[in-house]
Amino acid sequence: MSHKRSLYPATLAMLVLWAAALPCAAITPVLNGQQPDEYSVPKQKPQRSGTIDSVDRAARTIVIAGTTYRLPASVVIHTGDPSTVAARLAAGTRVRFRATKAQLGKQPVLTELWFADEDK
């Protein structure tokens, strides 16, 4: 008779670790010239641009040009200076971005962001 080990303890442990890490997860800045590999960022529509109206870090949302987007911890932020990201994610900052297409009853999700003042 073979003994099957339950996946429940391992799955539960993984979920607990993931849930504990989630609040600690930071927005991931990507330095210019260090693009993420092609599989880490979904293929999306051409970039959009606008000015940040507001950011609600507790609700993990950002409003750009009047549209509210979810702001996941996995958003890729392209910047030359990662130490300035938190301060620059504020009302009045001009940005270029990519986001998922809005689905019925759901907010679109911000997937990539560039600061317009870094455009060359």
pLDDT digits (tens, 9 = 90+) for 38-97: 444 545 445 799 999 999 999 999 999 999 999 998 888 888 888 888 899 999 999 999
CA distance 36 to 9: 33
Higher pLDDT pick, 105 / 10: 105
Higher pLDDT pick, 50 / 14: 50
Superfamily holding 26-118: Copper binding periplasmic protein CusF (2.40.50.320)
Token pair, residue 39, equals 């599989």
pLDDT digits (tens, 9 = 90+) for 27-53: 555 544 454 544 445 454 457 999 999
Q: What's the rounded mean pLDDT across residues 103-109?
A: 88
